[in-house]
Amino acid sequence: MSSRRIVITGLGGLCGLGNNAGDIWNAMKNGVDGVTSLAQESLSELKVKAAGQVGELPDIGLENKNTITMDRFAHLSVIAAHQAFAQAGLQVNERNASRMGAVIGTAICGCDAIEDGYQMLLVKGKKRTSVFTVPRIMPGAPAGQVSMVLGLRGPVFGVTSACSSANHAFISALDQLRCGRAEVMLAGGTEAPLTYGSLRAWESLRVLSKDLCRPFSANRNGLVLGEGAGVVVLEALEHAKARGANILCELAGGGLTADAADIVAPTLEGPSSAIRACLNDAGLNADEISYVSAHGTATKANDKTETEALKAVFGDHANNLSISSTKAMHAHCLGASGALEMIACVNSIREGIVPPTINYEETDPDCDLDYTPNQAKERPIKSAISNSFAFGGTNAVIAVKRFEG
């Protein structure tokens, strides 16, 4: 574990709950359901009828020459990064640009560009797609676009590990800062999967709910998809102090493991090992954790396995944990989910409020911990973990704690 401490100085985000981190948090703690009916006529044939959708995008002054090269998932990440950077009060200049970077995760890629390309070639009979199709599709585009808009010339790259992508981005950025390659890193995740082809593919997996997302409830019947992005500013403590930054929380550590078992079915050992690795990296004892931002997808296997993993790691202390899945509110935003859940972790620590797991209806004997059903709970929170367990067996867990000197 490196002795260099890393702090959070800015938050940005947008999803079905709101167009900035403050609005998202207010909706979370009030148990707002951000899932709405799919509005696009082109999606009317789908069995799935609702999703977590971002409304009109905030205007951050981007010119058309910028946005024309961005797919929606990149555009969302740029907006979130712009918000986080502004809150952090940072300025880029020739002296510091090479010491600032960005790592943005995504589970898929530019779905809109793929859809547009197929439409042009197979439906409209065109001979070619847009000249910007490749740069719009590539999974590394969000990180690149963030760097160009903000002028960051340090370490910049994308990461992709299905639904663990945002947490992998946080830990990758943490490593860059700890080893001294940068002083400031923007990190997070983004996703815009609400296209016809993407949703048809998810329908084929048979993991989508026909109505509501009900994490940990006995009558849960699958996940609800959503779009969104979340980005935080991570900064070396000494750098943040030197410029008088307002420090929100400390990113204490992270844990990474792989199941090495099945492409979609979770194991117990992989998630529990990731939680243990995270606590070890963060220098935290199990009994110091008060809040768990659960992966909580509302599938039968995931929620049961996550409950078992928490019991395996925390033992008797598992009964003292406050757990919630905010996916019930903002939907499963795939590569962006961990980044939106970071907003919940930081603010729960700062305000002493655990956001609820809404839509919880029936107790499940296989899921018998405190999932903060339907209403937020007030309690002091010094440290929290956020779980991400993804297809491919890729597990990433981060630990956030209250900043103290």
Global pTM reads 0.97
In the 3-class helix/strand/coil scheme, how is the chain assigned residue by residue? Answer: CCCCCEEEEEEEEEECCECCHHHHHHHHHCCCCCEEECCCHHHCCCCCCEEECCCCCCCCCCCHHHHCCCCHHHHHHHHHHHHHHHHHCCCCCCCCHHHEEEEEECCCCCHHHHHHHHHHHHHCCCCCCCCCHHHHHCCCHHHHHHHHHHCCCCCEEEECECECHHHHHHHHHHHHHHCCCCCEEEEEEEECCCCHHHHHHHHHHCCECCCCCCCCCCCCCCECEECEEEEEEEEEHHHHHHCCCCCCEEEEEEEEEECCCCCCCCCCHHHHHHHHHHHHHHCCCHHHCCEEECCCCCCHHHHHHHHHHHHHHHHHHHHHCEEECCHHHHCECHHHHHHHHHHHHHHHHHHCEECCECCCCCCECCECCCCCECCCEECCCCEEEEEEEECCCEEEEEEEECCCC
372 and 230 part of one domain: no
Domains contained in the chain, number: 2
| Assigned domain for 344 exists | yes
Last-in-domain residue among 196, 220, 242: 242
Whether residue 184 is found in the same domain as residue 41: yes
Q: Looking at residue 306, which CATH number applies to its domain? A: 3.40.47.10
Residue 211 sits in the same domain as residue 282: no
Q: Is residue 247 part of a domain?
A: no
Which residue out of 75, 82, 239, 295 is catalytically annotated?
A: 295
Residues 266, 345, single domain; the answer is yes
From 332, 333, 345, 367, active-site residue: 332
In a domain, 248, yes or no: no
Does residue 57 fall inside a structural domain? yes
Q: Is 239 a catalytic residue?
A: no
pLDDT at 2: 57
Q: Choose one of 212, 242, 272: the last residue of a domain.
A: 242
Q: Is 83 in the same domain as 218?
A: yes
* Residue 120: predicted pLDDT: 86
Whether residue 345 lies in the annotated active site? no
Residue that is last in its domain, among 214, 242, 270: 242
Contact predicate 323/290, CB 8 Å: no
Do residues 234 and 274 both lie within one domain? no
Q: Would residue 1 count as lying in a domain?
A: no
Q: Which domain holds residue 327?
A: 253-401
The answer to the question of residue 279 being in a domain is yes
95 and 233 together in one domain: yes
Q: For each successive 10 residues of the chain (405 residues), what is the average pLDDT?
A: 86 98 98 92 83 95 93 98 98 97 97 89 90 94 98 98 98 98 98 94 93 96 97 98 98 98 95 98 98 97 98 98 98 98 98 98 98 98 98 97 94
**Residue tagged active-site, from 15, 111, 163, 367:** 163
116 and 234 both lie in a single domain: yes
Q: Do 13 and 158 fall within a single domain?
A: yes
- Radius of gyration of the chain measured on its C-alpha atoms: 20
Residue 152 lies in a domain: yes
Are 156 and 276 in the same domain?
A: no
- Please report whether residue 153 resides in a domain: yes
> Looking at residue 1, what is its pLDDT?
46
For residue 119, the model assigns a pLDDT of 85
116 and 137 belong to one structural domain: yes
Regarding whether 230 and 172 lie in a shared domain, the answer is yes
**What are the b/e assignments for 200-222, b being 16+ CB within 10 Å?**
eebeeeebbbeebbbbbbeebbb
